[in-house]
Chain A
Amino acid sequence: MAGKRKQILFSALEPGLGLKKALEHTQTEIIDIIKLSRLRGRGGAGFPTGLKWDLAYSAKAPKKFIVCNADEGEPGTFKDRILLNEHAKKIFEGMAIAGYAVGSQEGIIYLRAEYRYLRPVLVQAIDELRKAHLLGKKILGSDFQFDIDIHLGAGAYVCGEETALIESLEGKRGEARNKPPYPTESGYMGYPTVVNNVETFCYVPYILIEGAAWFQKFGTFESTGSKLFSISGDVKKPGVYELEMGTTVRQVLNLVEASDTKAVQVGGASGICVAEKDFDKPLAFESLPPGGSIIVFNRSRDMLNVLKNFMEFFVEESCGQCTPCREGTFRLLEGVKLMEQGQCSIHYLRVLRELAETMKISSKCGLGQMAPNPFLSIIDNFKGEILARDRVTDSIPL
């Protein structure tokens, strides 16, 4: 069984057709179509795209912005790289449609510094779209104008968080803002701003062409459509796969010819690590939130090492402004190191677990709220392995 392979993004798209369809509708009609499609944000959090656009549309302001979040930094994720490299025009068309729908004339794509080599590709795509009157003034002969600027990041994972991204766009430290106000009300330079993931924008022209009902047919009720998965780790055929929402972990493993699998990290470092008992769960927002990344570990892998790698990542990438994330990620990493040395008592492990739970509900932004996920899921799902090798001892006093 190869899983349910139905393709949307990886099927051909006539450039400009989605935008042309969009211009035949009113702004609210487009928003209704997107709402009806039940498209949810592909960056990880799964916020309903139509609702986000509606909020920005309803906000009254002299200017609005459409921002494409191309700060793909989640460990194990590379689907946006493929889209940027090979499907850039779909992204920009989606942005233009969003611009038309919410009443924005300016788009910005925030490209992570690590992908700077993709910039010429994007510049060229924008040029070609301008020449084809799909960007710029008088798009497709209408009164609608929309153009896109490329903004480079400078190396900070936290800028994938939408308010940190906006701070970074404004030339500041990439530190998350307090929410509310949400970016749809006050975002870039204080103007209503829609921030969507690269992949999210790509679905938009397809939905405009084929209709919301068509899109709904893919996936599950709560997670419609397909999804790109970046698959890496202990598999024969790593790469980017477009699969229907709701595909199970096991189906994915079969597809990529993974064998002897012990654990699967779903959703990157900030996702969760599942063991075999959960392999039949579907990848969908209502079950295992799919994020963009699947990392597979076979039985030869040491899960404590894996956990250490993830926690090192968060310690380096925490922005450092809020206490639970800045200090908490550091203490969790220290705890993992203690376990490695066989110096962590069961009691202290419980203390760390409580700390991790606290971080989830007390950190200021998504990064800090998700950072304890690998710790909790690996400790919980691989308790036997963690405890068995005499790494967590009861003999060490606090």
Chain B
Amino acid sequence: MKLESQTQNIARAVKRVCDEYHSRREKLLQILEELNELYGYLSEYVMKEVAKNLDMQVSEIYGVATFYSFLNTKPKGKNIIRLCQTVSCELAGKQRIANALENELGIRFGETTPDGMFSLEYTNCIGMCNQGPAMLINDDVYYNLDPEKAVDIVEKYH
């Protein structure tokens, strides 16, 4: 019973987002981004509902969702930390930040903390090359990092 109302809520939310974009095919990416933001990832059910609303093949939605690195088809942590791994940040000492974050969170890159609070990922260039090392936590950008500063920032998200 409870499960049913939960799926109904999701279906309603998906419909609302799709309606916002007039269920237009070309707005798929924007729709997926909003839903990804809402639920943290695009579940099987969400993708199926989007397919229904947009009258598309669900496999195509899956193809799009897996193409982009900011869309997830598997559950992620509440906060996603994306440490820039590209060359300028590497020169500026990205590895030390990476080590500090792994130690602080007790997970490796590509993993999510058991409490579901953080996912730790690498990302490619985020355009903060003059102030590296840099990272994104969700939509927030942090730069000129040192290990201590990085850990302090992450703690604020607990």
The answer to whether A and B touch directly, with their CB atoms under 8 angstroms apart, is yes
A residues with CB within 8 A of B = 72-78, 80-81, 113-117, 151-157, 168-174, 189, 230-234, 238-240, 265, 269, 293, 295, 297, 301, 305-306, 309-310, 312-313, 316-317, 319
**Distance A306 CA – B140 CA, assembled complex (angstroms):** 28
Which of B32, B91, B124, B130 is within 8 Å of A297, CB to CB?
B91
Contact B29 A316 (CB under 8 A): no
Q: Which residue of B lies closest to A189 (CB)?
A: B26
**Distance A360 CA – B49 CA, assembled complex (angstroms):** 42
Interface centre among A152, A155, A169, by most chain B C-beta atoms within 10 angstroms, is: A155
What band does the interface of chain B fall in when counting residues whose beta carbon is under 8 Å from A? 35 or more
Contact B123 A114 (CB under 8 A): yes
For residue B68, which residues in chain A have a CB less than 8 angstroms away from its CB? 113, 153-156, 174
Given A152-B29, A155-B69, A173-B64, output 7 extra A-B contacts at Cβ < 8 Å.
A73-B125, A76-B88, A76-B125, A114-B126, A155-B70, A156-B68, A297-B91
Indicate whether B90 reaches chain A with its CB closer than 8 angstroms: yes
Return B52 CB to nearest CB of chain A, in Å.
Answer: 16
For residue B107, which residues in chain A have a CB less than 8 angstroms away from its CB? none
B residues with CB within 8 A of A = 25-33, 63-64, 67-71, 85-88, 90-91, 123-132, 136, 139-141
For residue A312, which residues in chain B have a CB less than 8 angstroms away from its CB? 85
**Distance A171 CA – B50 CA, assembled complex (angstroms):** 13
Return A76 CB to nearest CB of chain B, in Å.
Answer: 5
CB-CB nearest 8 A-B residue pairs: A171-B28, A154-B68, A155-B70, A238-B130, A155-B69, A232-B129, A78-B127, A232-B88
The interface residues of chain A, by DSSP majority, are classed as: mixed
Q: Which residue of B lies closest to A188 (CB)?
A: B26
Contact A168 B70 (CB under 8 A): no
For residue B71, which residues in chain A have a CB less than 8 angstroms away from its CB? 154-155
**Distance A306 CA – B89 CA, assembled complex (angstroms):** 12
Q: Which residue of B lies closest to A293 (CB)?
A: B129
Return B21 CB to nearest CB of chain A, in Å.
Answer: 9
Contact A77 B67 (CB under 8 A): no
Contact A171 B29 (CB under 8 A): yes
Contact A117 B140 (CB under 8 A): yes
Return A373 CB to nearest CB of chain B, in Å.
Answer: 14
Contact A233 B88 (CB under 8 A): yes
Q: Which residue of B lies closest to A159 (CB)?
A: B68
Return A324 CB to nearest CB of chain B, in Å.
Answer: 19
Q: Which residue of B lies closest to A297 (CB)?
A: B91
Contact B30 A73 (CB under 8 A): no
